[in-house]
Amino acid sequence: MSITRSTIAAVSITAGIAGALIMSSVPATAAPMDNGNGGNRQGGGGFTVQCDFSHSATVDPIVMPGHAAMSHLHEFFGNTTTNENSTGASLLAGSTTCNDSNNLSAYWVPALYQDGTRVAPVSARVNYEGRGANVTAFPAGFMALTGRTDQTAAWGCATRGAQPTFGTSVATVPTCDPGSRLVAQITFPQCWDGTSLDSANHISHLALATDNVCPTSHPVRVPQVTLTINYSAAATGGSGVTLASGAASTLHADIFEAWSGTSLQNRLSGRGGQRPAVAGGPQNGQQNLQQNGQQNGQQNGLRGGQTDPNAAVPADQAGAPAQAQAQAPVQNTAPGQGNRGNGGGRGQGQRGGGAATAAPAA
């Protein structure tokens, strides 16, 4: 049976509140930033890519492909062309705000509101944790989402020159002192089933490692992706923070991977550094399509049953002004703003209390 993007979107729309349950179903448990290695303990280290804020739109090419203005408002980083029709191939033909022009991936989170007013993010630090011959690069077109649990998402405050500090509950947003900035962090699992670019709930093709070892159901070690979102001083935190998806506890993120050629595998293997991004980046497109077209062509049809938290809260009931939900894409007007913090804190003990157990989904 063939599954079309329109069929998937229809299933997604009817999924409703069921989507809120998916984040508690991540198979296996581990503390954020642990490195599962498919049965061994190699593959430590990693690298970070800095991606400025790109644009805002009420679209979600993973959960509601082909449908505009049907999602809550998202903030996009990385690929500047991301829209409701994005595919691995279209991303590879685009350009990026990331400081490595080989990285044409797209990353997004729900819009943040401070006391009812939207605060645009400044940038995202994207950490790819895990290096070595046993760590496999994501294929172009790989997609996933996670968050909404204490194990995978957190709020914190960052001061320039210091590691950010994070709370232990995603439901609680700290109030940041003057001179520090609010940050949000979302961590993805690091073990893959080895075949699926996506799954029905957009996360079950990934699993967290246990005691640094990937489960037999997900034996392929991939880099553990952690997004740290940096906000301006207008986001002060505290109880006044809500998201386009609802309460602060609904914090989650999506990734849509698209790296030029073998550039991601090269970085994971310690071969070759980043290539500085070129504004507009049209030169990337044809080269990337030639290098990755065969890989992208398979979007693997596993996109039915769209039960993601993005579908759980209708756009007009997301705890943010309705007019903001339906606004046209907003371009970043200050891509050169500095970022706050360095996004590595959660793997270094700043959260306290050891590994957090998964919280019930909101």
Does the structure show a pLDDT above 90 at 317? no
| 288-104-290 Cα angle (round to 5) | 10
Asked whether 120 and 221 are in contact (CB, 8 A), the reply is: no
Q: What's the predicted TM-score (pTM) here?
A: 0.71
Report the distance separating Cα 163 and Cα 11, nearest Å. Answer: 42
Domain count, the chain: 1
Report the helix count and the strand count for the chain, using DSSP H and E. 5, 18
The pLDDT value given to residue 275: 60
Instruction: Name the more confident of 212 and 294.
Output: 212
Q: How confident is residue 200, by pLDDT bands cut at 50, 70 and 90?
A: very high
- Find the domain containing 141 and state its range: 5-348
Is 117 a member of any domain?
yes
- For position 209, what pLDDT does the model report? 95
pLDDT at 311 over 60: no
Is 355 domain-assigned? no
Q: Is residue 86 part of a domain?
A: yes
Cα 63 to Cα 158: distance, rounded to the nearest angstrom: 31
Confidence of residue 254 (pLDDT cuts 50, 70, 90): very high
- Does position 102 have pLDDT exceeding 70, yes or no? yes
Q: Is residue 356 part of a domain?
A: no
Measured CA to CA, the distance from residue 59 to residue 53 in angstroms comes to 16
Question: What is the residue type of 123?
Answer: S
Query: In this structure, how many other beta carbons lie within 10 angstroms of the beta carbon of residue 44?
Result: 13
pLDDT at 287 over 90: no
User: Are 158 and 125 spatial neighbours (Cβ–Cβ below 8 Å)?
Assistant: no
Cα(312)–Cα(249) distance, integer angstroms: 13
Residue 359 lies in a domain: no
**CA atoms of 360 and 362, how far apart (whole Å):** 6
Q: What is the pLDDT of residue 45?
A: 81
Instruction: Supply the DSSP symbol for 318.
Output: S
Residue 150 lies in a domain: yes
Q: What is the pLDDT of residues 103-151, one digit of tens each?
A: 999 999 999 999 999 999 999 999 999 988 899 999 999 999 999 999 9
DSSP per-residue letters across 170-212: TT-PPBPPTTEEEEEEEE---EE-SS-S--TTSSTTEE--BTT
Residue 358, domain member (yes or no): no
Task: Please check whether residue 353 lies inside any domain of the structure.
Answer: no
